[in-house]
Amino acid sequence: MPWTHLLVAATVYLVFNRIGLVGFELPFFALLFGSIFPDIDHPRGMVSQFNILKVVSGALQRVVTHRGFTHGIPASLLFLGISIQITSFLELDIFVALGFFVGYILHLAADSLNPTGIKWFQPFHNGKIRWRISTGSLSERIFFFFLIGVVGILLSFQ
């Protein structure tokens, strides 16, 4: 699933880039990082394997469940605030934080395609948004290769 999240983010980025809504000022790698960040609440999450984030992930897993707090709008805004502080401290462009945020939201959107779904407004509201694409299923593989096809087509147009 992390590869699907990365591919969703790359595809959306390329679509907006090709129709001229975003240039390359939106930091692509921040978007990709944001697209895998919410799974910091899972021990096998791709982002949970990075050095310092392994510690953060371990601490978070003691207080939240997978697809719990980190998978909602309130958490995305909290992490947007933190990323703005970090980009400001490191004197980076604000678009780094915004790219991270867009990637984060794309992660939530992609997880909403799963039958487990997510609660977008937790802890304030427990309504779930979900669909039918199970993790590791044939339908996820078809979705994945469809996205690869879209990326291939988009990259073929300069």
Give the interface with Zn ion as residue ranges (CB under 5 A). Answer: 38-39, 111
Rounded to a whole number of angstroms, the minimum distance from the CB of residue 37 to Zn ion is: 9
In this complex, which beta carbon is closest to Zn ion, that of residue 22 or of residue 41? 41
In this complex, which beta carbon is closest to Zn ion, that of residue 39 or of residue 133? 39
In this complex, which beta carbon is closest to Zn ion, that of residue 39 or of residue 113? 39
Rounded to a whole number of angstroms, the minimum distance from the CB of residue 39 to Zn ion is: 4
Rounded to a whole number of angstroms, the minimum distance from the CB of residue 69 to Zn ion is: 12
One-letter-per-residue 3-state SS of the chain: CHHHHHHHHHHHHHHHHHCCCCCCCCCHHHHHHHHHHHHHHCCCCHHHHCHHHHHHHHHHHHHCCCCCCCCCHHHHHHHHHHHHHHHHHCCCCHHHHHHHHHHHHHHHHHHCCCCCCECCCCCCCCCCECCCCCCCCHHHHHHHHHHHHHHHHHHHCC
Rounded to a whole number of angstroms, the minimum distance from the CB of residue 121 to Zn ion is: 16
In this complex, which beta carbon is closest to Zn ion, that of residue 48 or of residue 83? 48
